[in-house]
Amino acid sequence: MSYLEEIQVKNLDHLGIVAGLIDEIGIVKIINNKLGIDVREKISAGTVVKSILINGLGFVSRPLYLFSQFFQDKAIEKLLGERIKPDYLNDDKIGRVMDELYKYGLNDIFIEVVLEVIKKFKIDLKYSHLDSTSFHLDGEYKREEDKEKQEEEKIIKERPIFIKKGYSRDHRPDLKQCVLDLITSQDGDIPLFVRVGDGNESDKSVFGKVLVEFKKQIKFDSIMVCDSALYGQENLQLIQHLKWITRVPMTIKKAKELVQNIEVEEVKDEDKEKRSDLNLESYTWKEEIVTYGGIKQTWLIVLSEKRQKSDLEKLEKQLSQEEKKSQKFLKEIQSEEFEHPQAARYKLKAINKKLRLLEIKEVELTETYSKKKEKIYKMISLIIKKDEEISRKTKEAGKFILATNLVEENKLEASEILITYKNQQSTERGFRFLKDPLFFTDSFFVEKPERIETMLFLMSLCLLIYNLGQRELRNCLKRVKKGINNQVGKVTLRPTLRWIFQCFQGIHYVILNGVEQIVNLTEERRFILSLLPASCQRYYL
């Protein structure tokens, strides 16, 4: 045997970190306990799930039917176990495991993983954030809807989802879609609850039910944070025994009145420094006790200086655009010849429907004759500003209302309510991760709705692993008070895990004359590994 034939080189890169986090959580064990192990199979269901998660966090856009190719140049036996070959991960095997996961219950499995993470990593659950997004899909996804009755009152449905058109967050109303509801912790953005819904589902109709179901599954005294889709009389009655913070929609009459008439309090000198420390120096507010939907609550009327400036600039721009548009309309209606006075006024009414801040007003309707000696009517009109509407929008600029049912017992400071709501970006960050072009998006070739749900379950597990690893790394950097260089060479205590993954590119697993070695493990990479769980270190050290 030649010298070259005694060397085997496989890529390890950042995948050891991913595999280590999966091991630390115990995902393989949980899956195998749920689905069982068939001794006739070459690879267990838990290991197949682990391979899917490693693939998903490999950030290589590659659909599942090319799945085995992902591991061709990887240290697969190091990552998944001895004697495991890439061709074990064929599409038939993956499809069977996905079907088994769905049949067992995706929600039950996800909740068990989450509970393990909460317990092992001591996740703070004081605040949890709920939001939803949509995923557009190609394909027909035909189902005989008349054979299955949709039970709206059930949150975790036994039937598969309906893939259909609905309100698209991706701005693709031409495509069918499904909806993903996501609850994350404020501590580390850890996904706590995931639910896949029909494509035409409305947030207002399900958010209250989602929170009730979440509290049944995760029995912790968490304050739920949500956007204005939650705020409705039916939902408030449904969640009256839960703690919540949400935004009040401006469609509510009481909210409109408060925003128009109430003046927020000026900041006292002694409070300015405190607000600056909380990064709230550009906010002012006032509290009001309100009863709505039969629930006593605190409404926090907030004025954001930055948002006020932006809203006023938009208002000015809108006014300028309408002035140009209305001049065109004015010229059009004054040059037109009408057979009847009603036709002229009907045309004027239709034009004014297109304007919000201005109005074209009739001054005089004159009777005259056309060149053909036929009686006609011509309208003389002028443009006027809707002062009341402009004044309303000016007063509303920069203002919004937050509501909470924590009024007396466990009452929150106004600053804490505002900071907590601002952290609603927790779920938005999760959605950006799930929709990343380098993620699983290309894998949505699967034709059954059940597979779509299972794919989103696996993607959510990837999000959990990623955010957990990022949280652990940042917490350790904070404890040791030592940062690492980011993409532009500046020292940071809050690196993204994706940057860490990039830092680990070029690490190889080498077998030379039967001796295993990890090469290119620099001091910086060793330092990063020392900040991660022991399960991650075992793949490299």
333: number of Cβ within 10 Å: 20
For residue 144, the model assigns a pLDDT of 41
Cβ-Cβ contacts under 8 Å for 484 (sequence gap 6 or more): 477, 491, 492, 495, 524, 527, 528
Tens digit of each residue's pLDDT (9 = 90 or more) over 268-287: 777 788 888 888 999 999 99
For the residues 167-179, what does the mean pLDDT come to?
A: 82
- Give the single-character DSSP code of 424: T
Q: Which of these, 241, 242, 209, 244, lies nearest to 228 by C-alpha position? A: 244
Tens digit of each residue's pLDDT (9 = 90 or more) over 496-509: 999 999 999 999 99
Residue 63 confidence (pLDDT) above 80:
no
Cβ-Cβ contacts under 8 Å for 391 (sequence gap 6 or more): none
State the greatest distance between any 2 C-alpha atoms of the chain, in Å, as a whole number: 109
For the residues 21-39, what does the mean pLDDT come to?
A: 95
In the block, residue with structure tokens 């907030």: 302
For the residues 421-432, what does the mean pLDDT come to?
A: 90
For residue 271, the model assigns a pLDDT of 77
Report domain extents, the chain: 7-104+457-538, 247-405
Residue 491 confidence (pLDDT) above 80:
yes
For residue 4, the model assigns a pLDDT of 52
- The full length of the chain comes to 541
For the residues 342-348, what does the mean pLDDT come to?
A: 94
For the residues 468-482, what does the mean pLDDT come to?
A: 96
For residue 130, the model assigns a pLDDT of 94
Q: For residues 520 and 505, what is the distance between their CA atoms, to the nearest angstrom?
A: 9
pTM greater than 0.85: yes
Q: Is 268 exposed, middle or buried (0-12, 13-18, 19+ CB in 10 A)?
A: exposed
Tens digit of each residue's pLDDT (9 = 90 or more) over 92-119: 899 999 999 999 999 999 999 999 999 9
Residue 346 confidence (pLDDT) above 80:
yes
Q: Exposure string (b/e) for 358-387, b if CB count within 10 Å is 16 or more?
A: bbbeeeeeeeeeeeeeeebbbbebeeeebe
For residue 141, the model assigns a pLDDT of 57
Structure tokens at 256: 């409109």
For residue 150, the model assigns a pLDDT of 46
How much of the chain exceeds pLDDT 90, in percent? 67
Name the H helices within 336-360: 341-352
Q: For residues 540 and 407, what is the distance between their CA atoms, to the nearest angstrom?
A: 52
End-to-end Cα distance, the chain: 29
- Residue 27 and residue 46 in contact, taking contact as beta carbons nearer than 8 Å: yes
pLDDT band (50, 70, 90) for residue 202: confident
For residue 107, the model assigns a pLDDT of 93
For the residues 463-472, what does the mean pLDDT come to?
A: 97
For the residues 439-457, what does the mean pLDDT come to?
A: 75
Residue 61 confidence (pLDDT) above 60:
no
How much of the chain exceeds pLDDT 70, in percent? 91
Q: For residues 284 and 263, what is the distance between their CA atoms, to the nearest angstrom?
A: 10
For residue 441, the model assigns a pLDDT of 55
pLDDT band (50, 70, 90) for residue 154: very low
Q: Please compute, for residue 270, the number of CA atoms within 13 A of its CA located in the half-sphere on the CB side.
A: 0
For the residues 444-463, what does the mean pLDDT come to?
A: 85
For the residues 296-322, what does the mean pLDDT come to?
A: 95
For residue 148, the model assigns a pLDDT of 45
Tens digit of each residue's pLDDT (9 = 90 or more) over 123-149: 999 999 999 998 877 666 555 444 444
Residue 349 confidence (pLDDT) above 90:
yes
